[in-house]
Amino acid sequence: MICLAGLALSAGCEDAAQRTGKFTDEEMTQIPLAGRARPPAHSDGLALSVKSETITIGQIVTPVMNMLEGNVAAGGGWEDFSARARPVVKDAVISKITDILLYQEARKEAPENIDELLDTAVDKEVEKFIAGYGGNYARAQEALAEQGMDWRRYREFQKKLLLTKQYYISQSLLDNKPVSHSRMLEYYEAMQQEGFQFTGLLRAEDVTWQGFIEFRLIDIDLDKVEVGDGETRKSAALREAGELIERIKQGEDFGELAGAHSDGHRKEMGGLWTRVSEGSNLRPPHDVLVGLAEKMEVGEVAGPVESDGHIFIMKLEQKQKGGVASFESLQSRIEMDIQLARRKARFDKLIGKLMSRANISGLDRFIDVCVEKAWSRWRATGSLSSN
């Protein structure tokens, strides 16, 4: 029995999903099923035949117009427009063909009662869609109309998406072969050599992080200090700093004292500086602060510190050392990345096989016509907006 996401089916179906290793939502987002993102646009004009179905110019041009915003120079001519727009249009056409071919293959493999199961699943998708508009049925219907759809077309779209995504793709790309420890370690070492550039499920912040310090500062400028009898500016500044340190030890708030007594540019913020990256070289007179912070614990107060005509009192608010996650902490995520790469490779091979078998004629000409249509629309409206 087929197991569809969102269906409250039998326990046997749930067990089967675990046996077949059906992909998680996170993994499925990495598989380029074009229809996943949004329902197809309405049809118009010339069509490309894909077996028993057709793709129209409107289905391609309308959704890609906004995708071209920022890609096409406002004052550019046809040659510039065509060079930039054709790859985007081609991707949209190939993705649309892919959806159709995958769906047709899924229909061949599906059980006889698939329509009944899909209807149940689509009912739940419709409920979620309406809930996304606060339960307002009329507003949800308007949103569909803005995309050139009605409820019937939306249901058909969801049927195709669910069948293809949750049945045929999952079954075709299934691979339970475990990833060896040596392969995962090799992957981690390669990531290190490449400076931890990521293309899979891992994010940069999962693996590397920048060290920083965050501190408050009371800055006593010797040129602004009030000098008493028998004092030099330096001795007066040191005396003031000593008094402030005692008040801090007695429990007075550092930020309030900084606001009242600091001469620094951050006094209005209670002396709180923006985070300083680990290893940064601050300009004098503040160049002594980073090295000082490295020796301090969070919450500690240091001073008085003399530097280039200033006396500083510093409180360390936060500190984090930069670093790289260990292989052990990333092992499970690395395994997922490798499995995903394998599935993508199988997916590309599958699509290549289906495209070759379909033997679609007139593809390049259809893409050219779609680009020409997009160009005409752009020139007529003065923008790439589809409205």
Nearest to 221 by CA among 234, 211, 208, 231: 234
Mean pLDDT of 342-348: 77
Lowest mean pLDDT among 7-21, 78-92, 102-116, 266-280: 7-21
| pTM of the complete model | 0.48
Span 8-18, pLDDT tens digits: 333 233 333 33
The one-letter amino acid at 48: L
Is pLDDT of 129 > 90? no
57: which 2 tokens?
Answer: 């110019």
Q: Is the pLDDT of residue 5 over 50?
A: no
Domain limits, the chain: 11-190+330-381, 211-321
pLDDT digits (tens, 9 = 90+) for 57-97: 888 888 888 777 766 655 568 888 888 889 989 988 988 88
Question: What is the rounded distance in angstroms from the CA atom of residue 43 to the CA atom of residue 212?
Answer: 55
What per-residue confidence (pLDDT) applies to 169? 63
Region of 308 on the Ramachandran plot (φ > 0 left; ψ -120 to 50 alpha; else beta): left
Report how far residue 337's alpha carbon sits from residue 330's, in angstroms, rounded to the nearest whole number: 11
User: What's the confidence (pLDDT) of residue 165?
Assistant: 64
- Tokens 């939306």 -> residue: 154
pLDDT digits (tens, 9 = 90+) for 195-212: 776 656 566 677 878 899
3-state class of 323 per DSSP? Answer: strand
Based on DSSP, count helices (H) and strands (E) in the chain, helices before strands.
15, 8
What kind of fold does domain 11-190+330-381 have according to CATH?
Triger factor/SurA peptide-binding fold (1.10.4030)
pLDDT in tens, 25-66: 444 444 444 443 344 444 444 788 887 788 888 888 888 887
Cβ count near 64 (within 10 Å): 22
What CATH fold (topology level) applies to the domain 211-321?
A: Chitinase A; domain 3 (3.10.50)
3-state secondary structure of 318: strand
Q: What is the mean pLDDT of residues 174-186?
A: 83
What per-residue confidence (pLDDT) applies to 167? 58
Q: So what's the pLDDT on residue 74?
A: 57
Whether residue 243 has pLDDT greater than 90: yes
* Cα distance between residue 338 and residue 186, in whole Å: 11
Shared fold status for 11-190+330-381 and 211-321? no
Euclidean distance between CA atoms 294 and 314, whole angstroms: 12
Predicted pLDDT at 356:
83
